[in-house]
Copies of this chain bind each other. A is one copy, B any other.
Amino acid sequence: MSTVLPAASRLSLNQKTVNALGLVEAVELCKRHDIESIGLWREPVAELGLETAVDLVRRAGLRVSSLCRGGWFTTTGEAFTEALAENRQAVDEAAALGADCLCLVVGGLPPGSKDLLGARHQVARALDELVPYAAERGVMFALEPMHPIFAADRGVLSTLAQALDLARDYPAETVGVMVDTYHVWWDPALADQVARAGAEGRIASYQVCDWVLPLAADALLSRGQPGDGFIDFPAITRLVSEAGYRGDVEVEIFNAAVWAADPDDTVTTMRRRFQELVAPNL
């Protein structure tokens, strides 16, 4: 982004926060609430059709802060080859949508495997294959370190330090990291690694949502609106801001109760929390 936007303009609605809506409705919701940016998911984009989606978002004047998601390439053999093909397609979609980044959830241990180091090694092999393809299309990957609760089944990339170590072999304009409060808030090395990510020019995205307890039966759905849980959003936002991040801030909430609520209410709360906890610290 060449111009620096005022903090209030930098709020982005990640589509997952209003999971019950299709893309058309999500875009209308953004317009209704003066939200200027949206984080898209591949499935609802595909449902509408890529070209229609590109046209819809452009006509609405929305920025696309991210496309979720590529990754899931910790496998080997044919599954690995298929994952690479799928990721190339995701890169094409991110390019068409003009997304600021393509989020990569790298995947957990392959079925039956306990070889964590091997799975992590496959992530590097996948990047070796995919980075040139993304670079040619001007797409930036956002490697997403995931909370260790997901190390077995979703993301063997567990810390910012690990993501940045992995990114080091690739150009900063193509391989960045996602700072998602839910995944990194507990990390004793957080301040150092956010500063490092900024110094290395690799903060591709900043996502916010809260850690709430008790965990939901499906731990994936345990996220809450900023302010509903244990995370210190002002403190973490200041770290990200001081590290030089000037992009959009996505609110991405996986939560069955939030998904069942009236989307207008969800977005009203989201906007208020963003104004209270995030915007003043950007």
Q: Is there an interface contact between A116 and B152, defined as CB atoms closer than 8 Å?
A: no
Bound state CA distance, A266 and B161, in angstroms? 39
A148 to B155, CA, bound (A): 14
| Residues of chain A from 176 to 231 with CB closer than 8 A to chain B in the complex | 185-189, 211, 213-215, 217-219, 229-231
Q: Please determine whether A232 and B115 come into contact, CB atoms closer than 8 angstroms.
A: yes
Whole-angstrom CA separation of A120 from B185 in the bound complex = 14
* A161 proximity list for chain B (CB < 8 A): 188-189
A187-B158 contact given A147-B148, A230-B114, CB 8 Å threshold: yes
Copy total for this chain: 2
Q: Which residues of B contact A148 (CB under 8 A)?
A: 147-149, 186-187
Roughly how many angstroms separate A104 CA and B153 CA in the complex, as a whole number? Answer: 29
**Nearest residue, chain B, Cβ from A151:** B186
- Which one of B117, B120, B149, B185 contacts A116 once the chains associate, using CB atoms below 8 Å? B185
Q: Could you tell me if A211 and B152 are in contact, using CB atoms closer than 8 angstroms?
A: yes
Q: How far is the CA of A229 from the CA of B116 in the complex (A)?
A: 13
Interface of A toward B, CB cutoff 8 Å? 109, 114-117, 120, 147-149, 151-153, 158-159, 161-162, 165, 185-189, 211, 213-215, 217-219, 229-232, 235
